[in-house]
Amino acid sequence: MQFKFSRCFAYQTPDVDKAIKFYRDVIGLELVENTAETIEFRAGQFRFFLDKGPTMGPIMELVVADLEAGKAALLEAGCQVVRWDGKGRPCYMKDPFGLLFNVFEETEAFSG
């Protein structure tokens, strides 16, 4: 199984509206999408996402060619599922050392 780091990271927060105002108005990030499904900011070369939920530390992102195969490999290696909403949605896991990351399927990242 091959994994790649993406340039995306996320935070979960119970108050998305307050977080949007803070990151847009105080920090100065550009809000590029605000829908029921996605809240995305541009942060230089990075993409920063907000998800509604209990507060968690920064959530980095790993990209895989096959989401379910990636999940199986990570579980076998001692990771734990924190939140698994399925393809294209938050799929948070915690590694054996406590680091949180989202697993995202992006087959084109592995072609060519």
* pLDDT in the model for residue 112: 66
Residue 7 has pLDDT above 90, yes or no: yes
The count of residues in the chain is 112
- Among residues 69, 108, 68, which one has the least CA distance to residue 86? 68
User: Domain extents for the chain?
Assistant: 4-110
Residue 109 has pLDDT above 90, yes or no: no
Q: Which CATH number fits domain 4-110: 1.10.275.30, 3.20.20.70, 3.10.180.10, 3.40.50.2020?
A: 3.10.180.10
Pairing of strands 4-13, 59-64: antiparallel
3-state secondary structure of 73: helix
pTM score: 0.84
Per-residue pLDDT of 58-95, as tens digits, reads 999 999 999 999 999 999 999 999 999 999 999 999 99
Per-residue pLDDT of 23-46, as tens digits, reads 999 999 999 999 888 899 999 999
d(CA 104, CA 111): 16
